[in-house]
Amino acid sequence: MIFSHDCGSKSGPQLILAFMVRQKRRAVKFQNPVQSVNQSVMANLRKTLTKLPHLITFDAACRHNNFTRAAEDLGVTRVSVSRQIAELEKTLGTKLFYRDHRKVTLTQVGRALEAEVSPALHQIAAALQSAAVRAGDTRLTVTTTSAFATYWLMPRLVDFSNQHPEIELNLVVSDRKLDLEAEGIDVAIRYSKTPPLWEKVTPLLRERVFPVYSPNYRPRTGLSSPEDLLEENLLHLSGIYRPGARWPNWFRQCDVTPPPESSGVVLNTYINMLQAAIAGQGIALAGNPLVDPNLSDGSLIKLVGFPEIERDFFYLIDATKSRQDANTFCDWIRDQASITSQFG
């Protein structure tokens, strides 16, 4: 099973490293006969990107908020992670993490660096993967968003692999709406207000959004009404997310004047928002089915009695012309969605 990351996902560095190891065994040729390379630019890149391994380590530390778990993820020692972070901080001339006994927390500069570095690393991984996997590929290529892949699909893929070991998947994780034909995508799971314009489309799951918080969060109020949330630290989504996923729309549905974003923390990905909520940094507006695992394990708590807003559907698209492996995968996805609807 192959995983490709276009942007926004949080499990890319090990894919980059694994891919680089594989690439030592074979050459990939890029044909561009008319483009000349500016040697000074390349020299600057070589000089600037000497810390690329350190940035991969930095990305892992950001995802785990812990040097030990980052080391386990990368297959190195904690000392190695700590040393590389210290070297990166020395190069930049600033601290990237606040350290304490059990975890590390990003500084303001660290958060700004993560926002730029993480998508760039995953874009590099996707470019390398795309260059390596082309003609003659018989794998089933599936795409979905980083949040849906992380919180819903990937935890279930072990079941699919056990049932159908003969089908190899190429999972392309992207928060962009890829051109399915141009990108060679066979199956897509997309979040949309209206059904995508494809012949074989199935509505899988409908999202409902509601406020959630961590047991580690210390509320300032009794959290008994929507008005109480005006006094709390709210986690706001920015960027590509439509108004229905954001706090202003939820407050207006409750007939409450929404607070400004400056009253809380603004994050540009759904995954980062949930991680911040789990860490106890504030109250998030999250939706099922993506937040269901966190509600089940107690890492997040749903505010009981607060309004829930129904939003858009996750749609399943079969872009193939009756490929058997696509039919098998889509049947399995529909079964999984049915189970989620019954017990989620």
Residues 6+ apart with CB under 8 A from 275: 65
330: amino acid identity, one letter: C
Phi, psi torsion values for 325, nearest 5 degrees:
-65, -35
Pairing of strands 97-99, 104-106: antiparallel
Pairing of strands 187-192, 140-144: parallel
- What is the Rg, in whole angstroms, of the alpha carbon atoms belonging to the chain? 22
Q: Where are the beta strands (DSSP E) in the chain?
A: 2-5, 97-99, 104-106, 140-144, 169-173, 187-192, 201-213, 234-237, 265-267, 283-288, 301-302, 309-318
Enter the pTM of the model. Answer: 0.57
> What is the maximal distance between C-alpha atoms in the chain?
67
Cα 36 to Cα 42: distance, rounded to the nearest angstrom: 11
Cα 220 to Cα 217: distance, rounded to the nearest angstrom: 10
115: amino acid identity, one letter: A
Q: CB–CB of 329/167 below 8 Å?
A: yes
Per-residue pLDDT of the chain (344 residues; tens, 9 = 90+): 665 655 444 444 444 333 333 333 333 333 333 333 455 544 565 666 778 889 999 999 999 999 998 999 888 899 999 999 999 999 899 999 999 877 899 999 999 999 999 898 888 887 777 665 554 567 999 999 988 998 899 989 999 999 999 999 999 998 888 899 888 999 999 988 899 989 999 999 998 899 999 999 999 999 999 999 999 999 998 876 777 778 988 999 999 999 887 778 888 888 899 999 999 999 999 988 889 889 989 999 999 889 998 888 999 999 998 899 999 999 999 999 988 776 55
